[in-house]
Structures are given as C-alpha cells and as structure tokens.
Amino acid sequence: MKQLYLIISMNKKLLFALPLFFLFFISSVTAQTLDWSSSFSPTWADGAVSRTANNVSGSGVNVSVSITNSQAGTYQQVTNGVNAPAVNNNNGRSNFFLLAGSTDALEIDVDWTSNTAYVDVVYNFSQPIYHLVFRVGDIDKASATSTSYFDRVTVTGLNGAAAVLPKTITAVNPAGNYLTISGNSAYANTTSGVGGNAGTNSTANNSQQGTAEINFGAQGVTRVTVRYDNHPSALANPALQAIAIGNMSWSLTSLPVDLISFAAKVDDNNNTVLKWKVENQENFDRYEIEYSILDSIGFTTIGKVYSNNQSTGTYEFIHSNANSAGNTAYYHLKMIDRDGDYRYSHFIKIRQENHTNVTLQPTVLTKGEPIRISIPGSSINPHRIKIVNMAGQVIGTAIMNGTSWQLETSKWNSGAYFINIEGADIKKTFKVLVK
C-alpha cells in the first residue's frame, strides 16, 4: 500500500503581515511527508523496531516511530536474508509489497502461534499535525475460503490527551470485497468465498484490493497507533501473514476545505475516472484537475469543477486518457478559495493496463497439494512461471500456454516460496506457504 502526498497551504493572515521576501516561502509547497527511505537518521535498517525522523520536510516536526510485537521471535524474513520489519526503499527491492501512491513501504511479516498476538506501530509527533493520510496494504486472507488468518488493522490517535479516530478509512480498490471496514478497523473479509489473497505487487490500483487509506481529516494529531493483528475468526494458530504501511503525509494547518477522499480508476473505455469527497467548503470557488504524463511534477490543467456552495460535496471528473497500456499518468487537485488562495491534494498515480487478472490458489497448502493458476483470456499469450525458495534459488520454471496451469508440490519442502508469473500482459508475484 504506497503513498506520496503533496499538499500546498496558504496562511491568509500572515500573507499581509510579513515582508515581501517571505511571500514565496508561504505560497510554495509546505507538504510534510514521512518517507520510510529518507526521513530517518540513521536509515531504517532491516529488522529495526525504532527510529526517529527529525525536522521532517524542513517543517520542524520530529517523529519517533517504535514497533512492538506481543509475541517475541515471530518476525519472519520478507525475502532471503531480509528480516522484518523492513523497508522497500523506493519500490526497488524484489519480493516486497508495493503500495499504490507511495514510494516506500514498511513490511511486517509474522508467523504468530496465537490469533490474539499483535504488532503495534506507534508514531509520536513533536507538535500537532493536520490532514494526516497514509495507506496500509495487503490486508487479506490466504485464499477466498481459507480461515488460517484474517489480517486486521486498527488505527487510533491522540491530540495531546484527547482521543481522535480516523475521519475515514476507505478501500483503495473495492473490487472483490476483499476488505471489511468497521469503525476504525479494516480487516480481511471473513465471508467464505469472498475476497482472498491480494496481489499487492504493483503500484497500479487494480492490485490494491487489500489496501486501505486512512485519513484523519482536519483533526489535530500528536500520536498514532497502527495495530496489526487477526480478526477473531482466524485459526487459533494462524499461518505466515504480512502487511505493509506506506509513507505518511500531513500539513501544519487546518484549512477551509477538508478533502475526505480522492481516488481514481481506469474504466472499460480506458478513461480515467477521478472521484473526490470534501467537507467544510467555506468561501470556496473551484477545483482544477491537473495532469502529468511524465512524472509527479510538471502538471497541466485539464479541467475545472466549481463548488456547489454547500458545506459537503462529492465530485467526479472523467479524463479521456490517450496513454497506451503500460504507461503511467499522475493526477492531483488544485483547490482554490474565492480569494485565490489554494492548496493541492495528494497526487494519484494511474497505470494504463490491459486489466489481465491472475489468480493463484491455494497460498497456504500441505505438501503434495497442487497449486492452481488461472489467467482468463490468456490463451494467445504465453506466461513464464518461476518458483523461488526463501534462499533465492530457482527450484522450477514452466511456460504456461492457455488459461490455466497446475503446479505439483510433492517434491517441495515445508516453508515459504515465491511464484513469479510474467508475460506480455502481466507481471505478478505470489507468496505461498507449504506446511
């Protein structure tokens, strides 16, 4: 689950009181992003459970992060030789989760022997921050019918001594009903035959069925706790399971427009559909939709949507994106007050893809139980299958022609494996556990 967020804020009271040479500073970007790769000193080492980030984005805000595991000795390796918790630096490490909208993610892999065990990730901020947004990914279960584990994430906060809860928790990609969201928790859908094991191996939104976006809105926050555990429906001794937490973003001021959610998807006609929801539209004028086909800078305005002069609103904008499959586009909102002040939303990264779907079941199995792979509509596109063990050794390969394939596991040892599936229209990796 990745998120890189950009917010621009304007302080109306100070603009007229400070000397001219301060004006550029106030009207420029004042986003703060806690980046797992670059914000901490020393950097987050594999297996580390605490670090401090000082003066995040030059804002003067310090953030200390500490991780506690209620059941010692249950952290697992993310990949060969890499102990969890570990950071996927700039999405550059193989066999790590990837979160849409984030350049990094902290991955937590565990094999608890009790369904009441938990990991707490606690953030302490040196001063109140506002509009806090981040994503947590791969909240799922082993397969559509498995009960071995049900990932659950519960988020709580404080503003000083006062308790605060997220304003919203939303599924980044609600397709397939992988997530159940209840109050301040998001957990794998416990209904048999619904949801399953999320891919979480691409920054495209269609691989993010198990990713939730947490948004605290305009509330001030000084402490956030992300608890990772199991829904009570999980087996008493859960299987190997994991999640990933993306970068955090926030601003230092509470501004008139409260952006509750901002999401995008590619429809069947390859158009990008942008949807957003807001509250507290005070003296607000319009939203300008900005677009870039190169990177997360150099945006061009492609449309305007005017406020409905109500305190809350839900909006939609459709862009006929001419990008070909495999290309990436970036979008964000410029939110403009009637007096001309503005700030930016976080940007959304959309990849134009062929929407080829792949399923692999089961992901937790007994030695000798076959693994079934299905890629609907792939009969003319061969796919290469590669099986890699935790030592990084390739123990098998195959060429899949057609829509289905079956892997025999009678000669596999107990343990975790990565199954890489790659072709002209797809590239995905699944982690499986052989008991």
Whether 2 is covered by a domain: the verdict is no
| pLDDT tens, residue by residue, 130-140 | 889 999 999 99
| pLDDT tens, residue by residue, 382-418 | 888 999 998 888 999 988 888 888 999 999 999 999 9
Q: The whole model's pTM is what? A: 0.62
Same domain for 223 and 105, yes or no, is: yes
Mean pLDDT of 60-84: 97
Same domain for 179 and 245, yes or no, is: yes
Of 216, 251, 286, the residue that ends a domain is 251
Whether 96 is covered by a domain: the verdict is yes
Residue 3 has pLDDT above 70, yes or no: no
Same domain for 119 and 22, yes or no, is: yes
Higher pLDDT, 77 or 2: 77
Query: For the chain, what is the mean pLDDT?
Result: 85
Same domain for 202 and 315, yes or no, is: no
CATH number of the domain bearing residue 264: 2.60.40.10
Backbone angles phi, psi at 12, to 5 degrees: -65, -35
Backbone angles phi, psi at 226, to 5 degrees: -110, 110
Same domain for 241 and 306, yes or no, is: no
Say if residues 79 and 62 touch (Cβ distance below 8 Å).
Answer: no
- How many domains, in total, are found in the chain? 3
Give the confidence band of 32 by pLDDT, cuts at 50, 70, 90. Answer: confident
Tokens 């299958």 belong to residue: 385
Higher pLDDT, 36 or 328: 36
Same domain for 179 and 299, yes or no, is: no
- Domain with 394, as residue range(s), is 359-434
CATH number of the domain bearing residue 230: 2.60.120
Whether 1 is covered by a domain: the verdict is no
Same domain for 323 and 389, yes or no, is: no
Q: What DSSP letter does each residue of 70-133 carry, written as one string?
A: SSTT-B-EEETTEESSEE-GGG-STT----TT-S-EEEEEE--SSTT--EEEEEEEEEEEEEEE
What is the pLDDT at residue 21? 26
